[in-house]
Amino acid sequence: MTVAYAPGKIILFGEHAVVYGRPAIAVPVTQVRAQVVVGHGEKGRGIVIVARDLGHTFTIARGKAKQMTNPLQIMVANALEYLGLGLERDLRITIESSIPIARGLGSGAAVSTAMTRALARYFSRELTAEEVSDLVYEVEKLHHGTPSGIDNTVIAHQRPVYFTREQKSETFQVAKPLLFIIADTGVESPTKMVVGAVRQAWEESKDRYEALFSSVGDVAKRARWAIEEGDVDEVGRLMDENHRLLQAMDVSSSQLDALVKAAKRHGALGAKLSGAGRGGNMIALVTPQTCEVVKDALEREGAQGVIQTEVQVSMV
């Protein structure tokens, strides 16, 4: 029996614009994670996938692989094929995750990453982070339609990344710790749906949206510099700017805006939505002195869950 884990993630800068070739910054969130256990299955039952948090069990029966439609089944099939193994085997795969679904924390990519690693280890193989990321990206297409690739990249590498689509992602230096509060609106935010809505708006008003995307990309570039230089105040100001641009794209919501305002009123250095928007999570940059005050304010404002996470000092 083997087990593997994968963290959640948050996008600090660059939502939506990253789909259109602009840079984005994302970091892992180790306070929540997906766990996958692979073990011997009951003889003759094929591959059984138990998704405990969903309350569902999926089976890849012998000789019926072509009937697979669920992303979990397809992830298993893709991983085994990549490892040079067939589906004609008996396995039991158990999935558990503390990452909220459809909240912009990368739950789908984390489960796929943990599953790929657990299967590889079960068959005494180790895959590189790049190999895992590439495999997970194929399933991300099923979850999100036209994903940027940022979720699978940051979760597979488990380090802060500066990401530009169709270019090699870069890890970079974090000069000073960054302390974040992640607050859940309690509203599901299906990435595929919101990304599709932005694409439709872009098609109807390309000049306006291209300008917005370029402004968001510029914010991400400046934010990388601020993080590498340890200018935490500037990181906060850029978060505020990024949120205003996302509002202009019509991907914020009344709940997200209320949480952003509450965080700012109570001392956050910056605050913005994180992920697809129209629900999901907002993030606030705080200090050790303001952390608890901002947490309390967000809970009073109606946040359905609050997570504290720190991006620690690192070198490339």
What residues are labeled active site?
Answer: 151
Q: How far apart are CA 16 and CA 148, in angstroms?
A: 8
CA distances from 121 to 41, 83, 262 (A): 16, 11, 45
Q: 261: closest CA among 294, 291, 292?
A: 294
Write the single-letter amino acid at 214.
S
C-alpha 188/C-alpha 257 separation (Å) is 16
* Cα dihedral 198, 306, 224, 117 in deg (nearest 10): -80
Closest CA to 281 of 100, 31, 143: 100
CA dihedral angle for residue 93, residue 98, residue 100, residue 104, rounded to 10 degrees = -90
**Distance separating alpha carbons of residues 160 and 136, to the nearest angstrom:** 18
